Chain A
Amino acid sequence: MAVSKLFGAKIKRREDPRLITGRATYTDDMQLTGLTYAEIVRSPHAHARIKRIDTETARRQPGVVAVFTGKDLQGVINPIPTAWLIPNSDLKTPPHPALAIDTVRYVGDGVAVVVAEDRYTARDAAAQVRVDYEILPAVVDQQQAMAAGAPQLHADVPNNLAFKWPLGNGEATAAAFKDAARDGVVIAQRFLNQRLIPNAMETRSVVAQYNSGSGELTVWYTTQNPHIARFLMSVVTGLPEHKIRIVAPEVGGGFGSKIPFYADEAIVVFCARKTGRPVKWTEDRRENYLSTIHGRDHITDFEVAARRDGTITALRGKTWANLGAYISTAAPGIPTILHGLMLTGCYTIPNLDYVVYGVFTNTTPVDAYRGAGRPEATYLIERIVDLVAAKLKLDPADVRRKNFIPPDKFPYTTAEGLAYDSGNYGPALDKALAAVDYRRLREEQRRGPRNGKLLGIGLSTYVEICGLGPSSIVGSTGFQGGLWESAVVRLHPTAKATVFTGASPHGQGEETTFAQVVADELGLPIDDIEVVHGDTAAVPMGWGTYGSRTTVVGGAAIVLAARKVREKAAKIAAHLLEAAEKDIVFDQGRFYVRGSPDKAKTIQEVTLQAYLAWNLPPGLEPALEASAFYDPTNFTFPFGSHVAVVEVDTETGQVALKRYVAVDDCGRVINPLIVDGQVHGGIVQGIAQALYEGAAYGPDGQLITGTMADYAVPKAHMFPTFETGRTETPSPHNPLGVKGVGETGTIASTPAVVNAVVDALRSYDITHLDMPLTPERIWNAIHGQRREVKAR
């Protein structure tokens, strides 16, 4: 790779000027002539039969344009589809009508929609829609939902079991457990990965406009993947794909919650077509908590077999994954493919026997939330490694080192069958431990509590799967799409460049990092490059932003397209310089004949000639642009070591996070400032699961944590300054050597913090506590024991 100027540079973001001056346009900021507003009437019951809907009063309100129910949509709007049909699982995908027709299955299920001249009128009228419900028994817990006699959500889905997905080798695993039971250790633990609410700061919003003259539908909306949205919109509405334009304007965070195709966008499109007016719909936060997907919600029984020296020989487990009331777009793949395949983590664990039950309950649908399956897996493995260390009285760092995949074994094929591309786990752990001065901390801990405060040190050594992904492999997992990515690099006659990406960043900063890459490849000033994304009318088919794939897959497509442009430019330069193409050197925007750097053609001169086309090499097409479609050969596997240092107050149960060190290896780093930002944000979301957040349902299916006043989205003062570091192990198969960093923090930090808190409580013989580790939970665990705090 050529030595470059901007790759690796800490440059400030090019998207920021519009965002810091209030000039960005998010979906709800859109105004159109004749715009109307939609309000969706949602079920207040978790499970009920709809006996009757009276829309007349609502319809008569001044300013109301139309009211529709599920019956109006029936036959016009197709059921909401599922896009990840995992194989060998007997997956059931019961119909999900955009508006409920006869049964509502969770609090928030849509039953009617009101369109009015303004927001306030729409909301007033929605309150006038009268629905008679026959309330049915509800179930919210996934294990209870599978029990005999539980309320049944869908016809033809006995025991609410949507799928059963097995993984691993039962016989070999059983043998390993038998051996361990004889002369090693076997540890079993139930782990709960509680349900989380994504909480992108911008709620979902849709603006739809249909032109009956041209038959064209334009939808501006909060999506992470406009092309997938267009494809599914055509499936759901029956409108042909080429007549649909999807635009993701400024999108205020997603974290997975803006991947799915929701019923709501289909409803709004229906309204726009029926009324002949443009329609806007924007969730409020309460509605967001009910109708935007949730994340996690696993119950897992997990077992580990290990030798006395700490070598782990097998894992065995069962997970009950709560899917909510319907199967959201990617939902089946999250607790299976993205979870099960990462269970052995960064260790040489040869045997695994695992099964995942996907279960319907009367709750909000669950789908991908930052990390999506991988945080759950990393939590299990990193917690159980600590349990092995505690049981064998070994240092948790030593147990990790003993089981690490050695650096000379890459590419390494895991028990789950993935080929980890590259890794060097020891140095990242060493660096993290050195940063916290691990030995001194352990000594301090041995001296016992100070002022009733217990010191705890928690490690998490993670590996994750990113850069989703090679199309043939994701196809074999049942994903109903490819996951390659597209790019166009277009130079204009003045040698300004527009770069189009099929990825759809919404805060991750690729308008900057991609411009850095192109600037280097073409020797252009970065200010001469604009990155365009998020509009199906402008950008070739692409798959969007999620799964830490944007820079890995989208960035690779861009560098390939830029290199095609450079190759064509070199041909023109050679022709102009009357030299053979092979003798042309390209250096920082200048083409010259080897040995004669003084007689050069600049990229600007060459570009102009490409467009004038007065004197091109014979047979060469005019203009200067290229497209690339990059399908990766493998996933990427970033890794790292995080260390959390906590103090637990035995009087109050309060956890104080004293230090947090993150050493991440995401391969080559294009912009360290942006990578740090991704890491910080990820860490906070992961710590929030460990200590603060959790969605709670009452037994009747009411969401108890239904507002931001009840659900603990963390605040600035809850965190110390994070100390970040890096090692660099490039991905050998990625053209940029990058691995992805969008989810590492979330994946690593949850077990690091829980391990630290449990480590602090060791003297109470507490080996495990379930998240979130609230003061109440910790205080009860301590004081339930009624024991003196003793020094160790």
Chain B
Amino acid sequence: MKRAVKVTVNGKAYAHEVEPRLLLVHYIRDVLGLTGTHVGCDTSNCGACTILLNGRATKSCTLLAVQADGASIQTVEGLATNGKLHPIQEGFWEEHGLQCGFCTPGMMMTAVDLLQRTPDPTEEQIRMGIEGNLCRCTGYQHIVNSIQHAARKMRGAAGRATPR
């Protein structure tokens, strides 16, 4: 009763036969071996499993792998390109946006989506924008700083009109 799934993850094409009930997050972690995406709850509250599905932040514990058939997925492993950190990764590192690091991949994926839609967010927009992602360590303040750092950096890059 397995179903075929074809997805592109971090630019690489995959095809597998999976059980229809397999959660996308387990497909990513256990089948593809991309364990940077985490599972923190089972009610879609914590956001540790957040990935970009066709460019939009999506909780991968709330989708079945078969529902992602044909989709383009980006996970934390795909953020850095050619060994160069994505501005959001730089922001989290520079501003001490993480402690235990467990929520961090999901938090960064949400932030990337937020910054794509709102390149110059206010503090309030950031705090509201990451409300689907829980962090128990940082008290969120350094995460806000990290996202602001990335926003400045990304706007700067866009301002210089450097092709990506």
Q: Which of A706-731 contact B (CB under 8 A)?
A: 707-709, 713, 715-717, 719, 721-722
Q: Which of A13-31 contact B (CB under 8 A)?
A: 13, 15-17, 19-26, 28-29, 31
Contacts of A316 in B (CB 8 A): none
Q: Which of A727-747 contact B (CB under 8 A)?
A: 745
Min distance, Cβ A658 to any Cβ of chain B, angstroms: 14
Q: Are B43 and A721 in contact (CB-based, < 8 A)?
A: no
Q: Is B73 close to A, CB under 8 A?
A: no
- CA separation between A515 and B79, bound complex, in Å? 28
One of A197-205, A553-561, A583-591, A592-600 contacting the partner: A197-205
Count of A-B contacts judged by CB separation below 8 Å: 176
Q: Are B96 and A676 in contact (CB-based, < 8 A)?
A: yes
Contact of B42 among A20, A285, A719 (CB under 8 A): A285
Contacts of A679 in B (CB 8 A): 139
What is B's interface to A at a CB cutoff of 8 Å?
19, 21-22, 26, 29-30, 33-43, 45-46, 48, 75-77, 79-80, 85, 89, 92-94, 96, 98-105, 108, 123-124, 126-128, 130-131, 134-144
Contact of A680 among B21, B89, B130, B142 (CB under 8 A): B142
Contacts of B79 in A (CB 8 A): 21
Closest to B131 in A: A715
Q: Are A506 and B100 in contact (CB-based, < 8 A)?
A: yes
- CA separation between A120 and B135, bound complex, in Å? 28
Q: Is A332 close to B, CB under 8 A?
A: no
Contact of B96 among A12, A24, A26, A707 (CB under 8 A): A12
Closest to A370 in B: B136
Contacts A285-B42, A684-B140; A717 near B131 (Cβ below 8 A): yes
Q: Are A22 and B99 in contact (CB-based, < 8 A)?
A: no
Contacts of B100 in A (CB 8 A): 200-202, 250-253, 506-507
Q: Are A708 and B46 in contact (CB-based, < 8 A)?
A: yes
Closest to A15 in B: B101
Q: Are B105 and A680 in contact (CB-based, < 8 A)?
A: no
What is A's interface to B at a CB cutoff of 8 Å?
12-13, 15-17, 19-26, 28-29, 31, 119-120, 199-203, 250-253, 255, 284-286, 506-509, 673-674, 676-677, 679-685, 707-709, 713, 715-717, 719, 721-722, 745
Q: Are B35 and A716 in contact (CB-based, < 8 A)?
A: no
Min distance, Cβ B139 to any Cβ of chain A, angstroms: 3
Contacts of B26 in A (CB 8 A): 119
- CA separation between A12 and B94, bound complex, in Å? 6
Q: Are B141 and A722 in contact (CB-based, < 8 A)?
A: yes
11 A-B residue contacts at CB 8 Å?
A13-B96, A26-B35, A200-B136, A253-B99, A253-B100, A284-B39, A506-B100, A685-B136, A708-B45, A713-B136, A717-B124
Contact of B43 among A285, A682, A719, A722 (CB under 8 A): A285
Task: List the 10 closest pairs (A to B, CB-CB), nearest first.
Answer: A22-B36, A507-B100, A252-B102, A19-B101, A680-B139, A708-B45, A22-B76, A507-B99, A29-B35, A684-B139
- CA separation between A255 and B100, bound complex, in Å? 11
Closest to B40 in A: A201
Q: Are A673 and B92 in contact (CB-based, < 8 A)?
A: no
Contacts of A716 in B (CB 8 A): 126-128, 130-131, 135, 140, 143-144
Q: Are B98 and A20 in contact (CB-based, < 8 A)?
A: yes
Min distance, Cβ B32 to any Cβ of chain A, angstroms: 12
Closest to A713 in B: B134
Min distance, Cβ B113 to any Cβ of chain A, angstroms: 15
For B38, B101, B105, B108, which residue has the most chain A Cβ atoms within 10 angstroms? B101
- CA separation between A29 and B22, bound complex, in Å? 17
Min distance, Cβ B16 to any Cβ of chain A, angstroms: 14
Contact of A201 among B30, B36, B134 (CB under 8 A): B134
- CA separation between A673 and B99, bound complex, in Å? 11
Contacts of B42 in A (CB 8 A): 284-286, 707
- CA separation between A719 and B33, bound complex, in Å? 36
Min distance, Cβ A285 to any Cβ of chain B, angstroms: 4
Contact of B108 among A20, A120, A201, A685 (CB under 8 A): A20
Q: Are A707 and B43 in contact (CB-based, < 8 A)?
A: yes
Min distance, Cβ B67 to any Cβ of chain A, angstroms: 17
Contacts A120-B21, A201-B103, A717-B131; A19 near B142 (Cβ below 8 A): no
Contacts A120-B19, A677-B138; A28 near B39 (Cβ below 8 A): yes
